[in-house]
Amino acid sequence: MERTLIIVKPDAVQRGLTGEIIRRFEARGLRIIGMKFMQVSDELARKHYAIHDGKPFFAGLVEYITSSPVVVMALEGTGAIAAARNTIGATRPGEATAGTIRGDFALEVGRNLVHGSDSVENGQIEVGNFFDESELISWPRNTDPWIFEGR
Protein backbone atom coordinates (compact mmCIF):
# COMPACT_ATOMS: atom_id res chain seq x y z
CA MET A 1 0.00 0.00 0.00
CA GLU A 2 1.34 3.40 -0.95
CA ARG A 3 1.11 6.41 1.33
CA THR A 4 0.70 10.01 0.29
CA LEU A 5 0.61 13.31 2.14
CA ILE A 6 -2.29 15.61 1.41
CA ILE A 7 -2.34 19.20 2.60
CA VAL A 8 -5.64 21.05 2.48
CA LYS A 9 -3.98 24.43 2.01
CA PRO A 10 -4.89 27.75 3.67
CA ASP A 11 -7.10 28.93 0.78
CA ALA A 12 -9.22 25.77 0.93
CA VAL A 13 -9.56 25.99 4.73
CA GLN A 14 -10.51 29.67 4.55
CA ARG A 15 -13.08 28.97 1.81
CA GLY A 16 -14.73 26.15 3.80
CA LEU A 17 -13.78 23.42 1.31
CA THR A 18 -12.09 21.08 3.79
CA GLY A 19 -15.00 18.66 4.15
CA GLU A 20 -15.59 18.45 0.39
CA ILE A 21 -11.91 17.78 -0.25
CA ILE A 22 -11.74 15.03 2.39
CA ARG A 23 -14.97 13.53 1.02
CA ARG A 24 -13.48 13.24 -2.47
CA PHE A 25 -10.45 11.29 -1.27
CA GLU A 26 -12.61 8.96 0.82
CA ALA A 27 -15.07 8.47 -2.05
CA ARG A 28 -12.13 7.56 -4.28
CA GLY A 29 -11.34 4.70 -1.88
CA LEU A 30 -8.23 6.09 -0.20
CA ARG A 31 -8.02 5.32 3.51
CA ILE A 32 -7.19 8.08 6.01
CA ILE A 33 -4.49 6.80 8.34
CA GLY A 34 -3.62 10.16 9.92
CA MET A 35 -5.18 13.61 9.99
CA LYS A 36 -4.72 16.83 11.91
CA PHE A 37 -5.58 20.51 11.85
CA MET A 38 -2.44 22.55 12.35
CA GLN A 39 -0.55 25.77 11.81
CA VAL A 40 2.56 25.02 9.72
CA SER A 41 5.68 26.52 11.28
CA ASP A 42 8.20 28.47 9.24
CA GLU A 43 10.74 25.70 9.85
CA LEU A 44 8.41 22.94 8.63
CA ALA A 45 7.35 25.01 5.61
CA ARG A 46 10.99 25.53 4.59
CA LYS A 47 11.65 21.81 4.99
CA HIS A 48 8.55 20.88 2.99
CA TYR A 49 9.36 23.27 0.14
CA ALA A 50 13.17 22.79 0.27
CA ILE A 51 13.21 21.60 -3.35
CA HIS A 52 12.21 25.16 -4.33
CA ASP A 53 14.73 26.95 -2.09
CA GLY A 54 16.57 29.60 -4.10
CA LYS A 55 13.76 30.03 -6.63
CA PRO A 56 12.06 33.43 -6.85
CA PHE A 57 8.73 32.10 -5.55
CA PHE A 58 10.16 30.22 -2.50
CA ALA A 59 9.50 32.99 0.03
CA GLY A 60 5.93 33.33 -1.22
CA LEU A 61 5.31 29.59 -0.81
CA VAL A 62 6.53 29.68 2.78
CA GLU A 63 4.52 32.81 3.57
CA TYR A 64 1.38 31.31 2.03
CA ILE A 65 1.47 27.87 3.69
CA THR A 66 2.10 29.48 7.10
CA SER A 67 -0.56 32.19 6.66
CA SER A 68 -3.51 30.19 8.01
CA PRO A 69 -4.21 26.73 9.44
CA VAL A 70 -4.17 23.68 7.19
CA VAL A 71 -5.46 20.12 7.40
CA VAL A 72 -2.82 17.47 6.76
CA MET A 73 -3.73 13.89 5.96
CA ALA A 74 -1.77 10.72 5.42
CA LEU A 75 -3.68 8.54 2.98
CA GLU A 76 -3.08 4.91 2.11
CA GLY A 77 -4.17 2.75 -0.79
CA THR A 78 -3.20 0.87 -3.91
CA GLY A 79 -1.59 3.42 -6.23
CA ALA A 80 -2.35 6.15 -3.68
CA ILE A 81 0.01 8.69 -5.27
CA ALA A 82 -1.58 8.52 -8.74
CA ALA A 83 -5.11 8.21 -7.35
CA ALA A 84 -4.67 11.29 -5.15
CA ARG A 85 -3.02 13.36 -7.89
CA ASN A 86 -5.78 12.45 -10.35
CA THR A 87 -8.36 13.46 -7.76
CA ILE A 88 -6.56 16.77 -7.16
CA GLY A 89 -6.06 17.71 -10.84
CA ALA A 90 -3.30 19.55 -12.69
CA THR A 91 -1.09 21.98 -10.73
CA ARG A 92 -2.31 24.85 -12.90
CA PRO A 93 -6.07 25.02 -12.28
CA GLY A 94 -6.73 26.25 -15.82
CA GLU A 95 -5.35 22.92 -17.06
CA ALA A 96 -7.25 20.81 -14.50
CA THR A 97 -10.22 18.87 -15.80
CA ALA A 98 -13.73 19.28 -14.47
CA GLY A 99 -14.44 16.79 -11.71
CA THR A 100 -11.04 17.29 -10.06
CA ILE A 101 -10.65 19.41 -6.95
CA ARG A 102 -8.66 22.09 -8.77
CA GLY A 103 -10.79 21.87 -11.89
CA ASP A 104 -13.94 22.48 -9.87
CA PHE A 105 -12.76 24.99 -7.26
CA ALA A 106 -9.50 26.76 -8.21
CA LEU A 107 -8.53 29.51 -10.64
CA GLU A 108 -4.87 30.35 -9.95
CA VAL A 109 -1.74 28.25 -9.38
CA GLY A 110 -0.88 30.24 -6.25
CA ARG A 111 -4.25 29.33 -4.75
CA ASN A 112 -4.63 25.74 -5.93
CA LEU A 113 -6.16 24.41 -2.69
CA VAL A 114 -4.36 21.09 -2.17
CA HIS A 115 -0.90 19.53 -2.06
CA GLY A 116 -0.37 15.86 -2.84
CA SER A 117 2.90 13.92 -2.84
CA ASP A 118 4.35 13.45 -6.33
CA SER A 119 6.14 10.10 -5.87
CA VAL A 120 6.20 7.10 -3.56
CA GLU A 121 9.55 8.23 -2.15
CA ASN A 122 8.32 11.79 -1.52
CA GLY A 123 5.12 10.41 -0.03
CA GLN A 124 7.13 8.53 2.59
CA ILE A 125 9.33 11.56 3.31
CA GLU A 126 6.45 14.04 3.48
CA VAL A 127 4.26 11.84 5.68
CA GLY A 128 7.28 11.50 7.99
CA ASN A 129 7.77 15.27 8.08
CA PHE A 130 4.20 15.91 9.25
CA PHE A 131 3.40 12.80 11.31
CA ASP A 132 5.16 10.70 13.91
CA GLU A 133 4.69 6.99 13.23
CA SER A 134 2.65 6.80 16.45
CA GLU A 135 0.07 9.16 14.89
CA LEU A 136 -0.60 6.84 11.95
CA ILE A 137 -3.15 4.05 12.15
CA SER A 138 -3.24 1.57 9.28
CA TRP A 139 -6.61 -0.10 9.75
CA PRO A 140 -8.90 -2.41 7.79
CA ARG A 141 -12.29 -1.12 6.68
CA ASN A 142 -15.24 -3.42 6.12
CA THR A 143 -15.43 -1.99 2.58
CA ASP A 144 -11.78 -2.75 1.69
CA PRO A 145 -12.62 -5.97 -0.23
CA TRP A 146 -14.95 -3.87 -2.41
CA ILE A 147 -12.15 -1.37 -3.13
CA PHE A 148 -8.93 -3.39 -3.16
CA GLU A 149 -8.69 -6.73 -5.00
CA GLY A 150 -7.37 -9.69 -3.07
CA ARG A 151 -7.67 -8.09 0.36
In which domain, by residue range, is 51 found? 2-147
Helix (H, G, I), strand (E, B) or coil at 73: strand
Per-residue model confidence as pLDDT tens digits over 116-132: 999 999 999 999 999 99
Confidence (pTM):
0.95
Q: What distance in Å separates the CA atoms of residue 136 and residue 44, rounded to the nearest whole number? A: 19
Q: What distance in Å separates the CA atoms of residue 115 and residue 102, rounded to the nearest whole number? A: 11
Structure confidence at residue 150 (pLDDT)? 78
Q: What distance in Å separates the CA atoms of residue 104 and residue 15, rounded to the nearest whole number? A: 13
Q: What is the CATH number of the domain that holds 106?
A: 3.30.70.141
Q: What distance in Å separates the CA atoms of residue 102 and residue 108, rounded to the nearest whole number? A: 9
Per-residue model confidence as pLDDT tens digits over 27-85: 999 999 999 999 999 999 999 999 999 999 999 999 999 999 999 999 999 999 999 99
* Beta-carbon count within 10 A of 87 CB: 21
104 pLDDT above the threshold of 70: yes
Helix (H, G, I), strand (E, B) or coil at 8: strand
Cβ contact 7:56 at 8 Å: no
In terms of residues, how long is the chain?
Answer: 151
**What is the number of domains present in the chain?**
1
Q: How far, in Å, are 71, 77, 80, 103, 133 from residue 83 at the CA level?
A: 19, 9, 5, 15, 23
pLDDT confidence tier of residue 151, bands split at 50, 70 and 90: low
Q: Which residues are catalytic?
A: 115
